């Protein structure tokens, strides 16, 4: 029980930020490209309550934590409602709206990495903040890689749909009602790790490259 409390304390803020800004980024991008549906429904917000799904964000992760001993965690927020037909160029702009979520997670991973560097630079001795910063990096990299997996309704699936020729895009988009079950099956079979591991490694490398000038100055 103590381990659960410590895990929740460390991950609560990073997860809330990761989910909230991911969904808000979709809403902001949709409005920018012409669809105000999410904005009118109050989803273009940094308030976590607007995006939390009681079942997917709270209940499922807790049940999975106890049933797998913390080995497997999964959750999701309420999807941002987007009317792709309202976008100025629906097929093209769909990709940008979808990409906004993972891009937000990548930026947040960078921010948490900068926090971790700042904690080391100022020699902050409290381990809790360093653990939270590492949790923030990991959480956002996981969300970045997971959401880029090219199966709709994940963001990667929408991006791929946008890039495919119309004929194939239409056929590919038809698997969306089954996409969640396909992804869950791949997760349980640990097939998705073959995607997650290299994508997260590449993202980490890019992050290290971005902060390398700062690390050079601090050293």
End-to-end CA distance of the chain: 40
In sequence order, the 6+-apart residues with CB closer than 8 A to the CB of 88 are 33, 34
Distance, in Å, from the CA atom of 202 to the CA atom of 87, rounded to the nearest integer, reads 31
- Give the active site residue among 23, 35, 93, 155: 23
Q: Which helix (H) or strand (E) holds 91?
A: helix 90-121
Question: How far is the C-alpha of 181 from the C-alpha of 179, rounded, in Å?
Answer: 5
CB 138 within 8 A of CB 130: no
Q: At what angle do helices 193-218 and 127-147 cross, to 10 degrees?
A: 130
**Is 176 known to be catalytic?**
no
**DSSP-assigned states of every residue in 27-86:** HHHHHHTT--HHHHTT-S-S-GGGT--IIIIIIHHHHHHHHTTTS------PPPP--GGG
Q: Give the active site residues.
A: 23
């Amino acid at each position: 029980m103590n381990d659960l409390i410590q895990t929740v304390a460390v991950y609560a803020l990073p997860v809330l930020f990761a989910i909230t800004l991911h969904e808000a980024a979709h809403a902001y991008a949709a409005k920018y490209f012409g669809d105000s549906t999410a904005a009118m429904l109050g989803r273009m917000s940094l308030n976590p309550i607007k995006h939390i799904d009681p079942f997917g964000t709270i209940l499922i992760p807790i049940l999975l934590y106890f049933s797998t001993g913390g080995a497997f965690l999964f959750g999701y927020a309420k999807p941002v409602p987007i009317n792709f037909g309202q976008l100025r160029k629906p097929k093209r702009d769909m990709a940008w709206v979808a990409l906004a979520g993972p891009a937000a997670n990548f930026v947040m991973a960078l921010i948490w990495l900068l926090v971790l560097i700042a904690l080391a630079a100022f020699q902050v001795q409290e381990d809790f903040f360093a653990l939270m910063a590492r949790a923030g990096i990991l959480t956002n990299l996981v969300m970045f890689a997971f959401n880029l997996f090219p199966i709709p309704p994940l963001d990667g699936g929408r991006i791929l749909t946008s890039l495919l020729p119309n004929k194939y895009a239409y056929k590919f988009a038809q698997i969306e009602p089954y996409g969640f079950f396909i992804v869950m099956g791949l997760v349980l079979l640990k097939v998705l790790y073959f995607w997650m591991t290299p994508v997260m490694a590449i993202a980490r490398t890019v992050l290290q490259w971005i902060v390398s000038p700062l690390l050079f100055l601090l050293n």
